[in-house]
Amino acid sequence: MAGPLLDGRRALITGGTGGLGSAMAAAFSAEGARVAICGSDRERTAAGAEALGRTCGHRIEPVELDLRREGAAARAVAAAADLLGGLDIVVCAAGAPADGRLENLEARQWRDSFAVKFFGAVDVMTAALPHLRKSGGGVMIALSGVLGREPHPGNIVAGTINAALENFMKSLAVEAAPYGIRALTLCPGPFDTLRMRNILQQKSRDTGKSFDELFAASQADVPLQRWGTAEEFARFAAVAASDVCSYMTGTTITMDGGLRRGAF
Ligand SMILES: NC(=O)c1ccc[n+]([C@@H]2O[C@H](COP(=O)([O-])OP(=O)(O)OC[C@H]3O[C@@H](n4cnc5c(N)ncnc54)[C@H](OP(=O)(O)O)[C@@H]3O)[C@@H](O)[C@H]2O)c1
């Protein structure tokens, strides 16, 4: 009988303190991977790793990484490779793009959002590439989001970053393929994380509508009539990172309950 999907793989997950990132850390660990998670604050990351480790029954390594800091990605990738004895999988799930319409956004919000989600992923992938080459191959995954293909008023920053990230990953896939490294973008629709709930709370304050009313409307908008759970997303990511998808690279895989109606 086949073993766990990610048996013995060494995985670094940025945004591992967040909703989707920590769910992926738990799922990867359950599938036999050794996992390091990154978060921007040392103590919160250590506490998050400790709590996750208790839940999964396996040690999760904490690595501090504030992607707004120059050189931080290279240091964190090196630290994770040291802790895990090398790297086979890197997942970039860090990001909290600013909400707002163009006319209300400040230049600083654009720059901070790109620094964390877009340049953060570029820096982490750049630093991780030599480690994956040393391992003889591997998988690089970035999280985008449906707004990258279906623009929405008030989400211009996230949409722009997600589109750029998908393009970056496609180019990376072509460059990395000769080394046996796959590069994929996973594109989530609405998943129930603290970030998504905070966005709805803010919308509730802005519009005067209740959170429950907005939540119901948002779920009704999805063909499957609900937000996904972080665990559903994480199981899918574990499959994408595994050899089940060994012939899949350079593509974006959407998981959105049918939200995006476009043809591609
Ligand atoms: N949830 C959804 O429905 C959804 C939909 C579409 C796209 N996405 C994308 O999926 C990714 C994860 O989303 P999520 O819902 O899990 O969000 P989340 O719970 O808010 O997690 C965001 C993660 O990003 C990290 N982060 C924020 N600022 C950082 C910084 N300066 N340096 C390093 N890390 C930083 C956070 O770490 P700290 O807290 O430690 O700073 C946290 O781990 C994001 O890129 C988001 O845009 C999510």
The single-letter code of the amino acid at 204 is S
Please identify, by atom number, the ligand 1 atom nearest to the C-alpha of residue 16: 43
The sign one gets for the Cα dihedral 86, 56, 256, 210 is: negative
Q: State which ligand 1 atom lies nearest to the alpha carbon of 194.
A: 19
How many Å apart are CA 29 and CA 11, to the nearest integer? 9
Return all residues near 112 (Cβ < 8 A) that are at least 6 apart.
Answer: 68, 98
User: Going by CA atoms, what residue is nearest to atom 18 of ligand 1?
Assistant: 18
d(CA 245, CA 251): 11
- Distance between CA atoms of residues 167 and 204, nearest Å: 33
Mean pLDDT of the chain: 96
pLDDT value for 208 = 96
> Coil, strand or helix: which one is 219?
helix
Ligand 1 atom having least distance to the Cα of 161: 47
State the pLDDT at residue 264.
56
Distance 124 CA to ligand 1 centre (A): 15
Per-residue pLDDT tens for 191-241?
999 999 999 999 999 999 999 999 999 999 999 999 999 999 999 999 999
Instruction: Kindly give the distance from the C-alpha atom of residue 2 to the centroid of ligand 1, in angstroms, as a whole number.
Output: 33
What are 94-120's pLDDT values in tens digits? 999 999 999 999 999 999 999 999 999
> Which atom of ligand 1 is nearest the CA belonging to 39?
40
Q: State how far the Cα of 181 lies from the Cα of 139, in Å rounded to an integer.
A: 5
Closest ligand 1 atom to residue 227 Cα is 3
Token code pair at residue 251 = 């593509």
Residue nearest atom 20 of ligand 1, based on CA coordinates: 195
Q: How far is the CA of 126 from the centre of ligand 1 (A)?
A: 20
Phi/psi for 70 (5° steps) reads -55, 130
Which residues approach ligand 1 with their CB closer than 6 A? 15, 17-21, 39-41, 44-45, 65-68, 93-97, 116-117, 143, 145, 158, 188, 190-191, 193-196
- When pLDDT is cut at 50, 70 and 90, the band that residue 263 belongs to is low
Q: In the structure, what pLDDT confidence band is assigned to residue 41 with cuts at 50, 70 and 90?
A: very high
- The yes-or-no verdict on residue 51 having pLDDT over 90 is yes
pTM assigned to the model: 0.97
- DSSP state at residue 105: -
The β-bridge partners of 254 are 187
**Gap from CA of 21 to ligand 1 centroid (Å):** 7
CA distance 258 to 143: 17
Separation between Cα atoms, residue 232 and residue 138, nearest integer Å? 23
The yes-or-no verdict on residue 28 having pLDDT over 90 is yes
Question: If you ran DSSP here, which 8-state letter would residue 135 be given?
Answer: T
Q: Residue 73: what residue type?
A: A
What pLDDT, on the 0 to 100 scale, is given for residue 261?
A: 84
Cβ-contact 10, 77 below 8 angstroms = no
Asked whether the predicted pLDDT for residue 152 surpasses 90, the reply is no
Task: Give, for ligand 1, the residue of 24, 40, 118, 236 to mutate: max count of ligand atoms closer than 8 Å to Cβ.
Answer: 40
Per-residue pLDDT at 157 exceeds 60? yes
- Report the separation in Å between the CA atom of 117 and the middle of ligand 1, taken as the mean of its atom positions: 8
Residue 1 confidence (pLDDT) above 60: no
